[in-house]
Chain A
Amino acid sequence: MRHIKHLTGLIATLLLVAIFSPSPAQAQSFSVSPREVKIDNLPPGEEVEFNLTIHNKDNVSHTFILTTYNPDESQRRHGRDQFPHNSWISFPQQVEVQAKSTTVVKVKVTIPSNQKWAGKDWEIWLGIKPETSDLLVVNHCIRLLVSTSGEVRGSRNVALVVGVVIGILFLGYGIYYSRRKAKPKHAHR
């Protein structure tokens, strides 16, 4: 053990070399569209879908990796806040696009049903980059601007359920009361 430690020290202090690996060059010629997606009046509790297109301009197929990124305030559109949870946006983690062809990717935005997410303006970026071992990687980002409406869709459903339950209780009570009132009259006869 002591010998190993000594050997490690020697490697660290005497060799002092490493290979900073160059990798075979791979082209990264691709485009994404649209450049910006603006969703307005989305009620919390609802979900929407849209498509983005990846165009692989290379002569070979590529796997593209999709990610979300929360930009700083200075990098966002004016008046936009940071998107609260990246998990509200769902899409395939990676997509293979054949050479000289395009692929459409479906993106879904779901806002939880909660009053605190009503009336908000958010921004998040969707990044698309090729899977590569190259040192330099190009990541094309689509601005996703989401504005929620002032009304919460899910809470209405809760109100509906509560209303129906209370209604049924009243209805039940009404029927029960009517029958109970009617019964004693027959009993006296």
Chain B
Amino acid sequence: MKAGILSIALALMLVLSSFLPLLADDTGTITITMTGADEISITLSKTSWGPEDAAGTGIVSSDTTYLTSPPIEWCKLTNTGNANVNTFVVGEDAKWVNNSAYKWTLSSNGTNGDNIYGLWFRISGDTTRGPNHDGYVPITTTQDEFWPYSGGSSLAPGDTKQFGLKLLTPTLFHGGREMRTHITINAVAA
């Protein structure tokens, strides 16, 4: 009989002890802080570019460099939000619009090769940045600093930066194919 009473008592203790931590849980509070009044917003004065030969045919040649016009003040980026932002740039492979299986691979260092193309940007005022110390920085498939760089100041509301692009076409590619790519500029709170 004693064993029976002991078992029942143990059972009650076990059930109660299981509930105790649950009761204690109610004191934990999940907090969500939303920095709400501020908004992220950057705008670009231009978003399209069709590099082409002097005749304006919309055709590019192999192993050739093309610059936006004007070269380094082609597009203006403006911080139109009300928060300081850091900006980053990332590119991607160029794909044939009719069949994305054919592509030009974006170079990891701005150089070109067979079906490999290079993309560069240069911010107006930058004269030493980049591997060639001429202000031009390769755009790759890895997100990299656009502005600021090397721990400089972020873009305050209303700040602007002008920049241009450079395209280096592949040494060899299939002709007559319309290629399309994207360059993404990411903006995040500083």
Q: Which residues of A contact B66 (CB under 8 A)?
A: 20
B38 adjacent to chain A (CB < 8 Å): yes
Interface centre among A26, A41, A136 (most CB of B within 10 A): A136
B99 adjacent to chain A (CB < 8 Å): no
A28 & B11 in contact (Cβ 8 Å cutoff): no
B39 & A135 in contact (Cβ 8 Å cutoff): no
A133 to B30, CA, bound (A): 41
Contact of A175 among B4, B48, B97 (CB under 8 A): B4
Interface residues of B, CB < 8 Å — how many?
77
A69 adjacent to chain B (CB < 8 Å): yes
A47 to B57, CA, bound (A): 56
A138 & B18 in contact (Cβ 8 Å cutoff): no
A12-B172, A13-B172 known; A50 and B185 CB under 8 Å?
A: no
A30 & B41 in contact (Cβ 8 Å cutoff): yes
A34-B36, A160-B18 known; A141 and B11 CB under 8 Å?
A: no
B residues near A (Cβ < 8 Å) are 1, 3-8, 10-12, 14-15, 17-19, 21-22, 25, 28-44, 46-52, 58-62, 66, 75, 80-81, 83, 86, 88, 94, 97, 143, 167, 169, 172-189
29 CB < 8 A contacts A-B? A16-B173, A18-B173, A18-B175, A19-B177, A19-B179, A20-B52, A21-B179, A34-B38, A36-B34, A37-B32, A37-B34, A39-B30, A42-B30, A43-B25, A43-B30, A71-B188, A75-B88, A125-B188, A133-B180, A135-B182, A136-B183, A141-B186, A151-B28, A156-B21, A159-B18, A171-B12, A174-B6, A174-B11, A177-B4
A residues near B (Cβ < 8 Å) are 8, 11-43, 46, 48, 50, 55, 69, 71-72, 75, 125, 127, 129, 132-143, 149, 151, 153, 156, 159-160, 162-164, 166-171, 173-175, 177-178, 181
Taking A33-B39, A35-B83, A129-B184 as given, write out 13 further A-B residue pairs in contact, using a Cβ cutoff of 8 Å, ordered by the A residue number: A20-B94, A22-B50, A25-B46, A37-B32, A41-B29, A43-B28, A55-B39, A136-B182, A138-B184, A138-B185, A141-B187, A163-B15, A174-B3
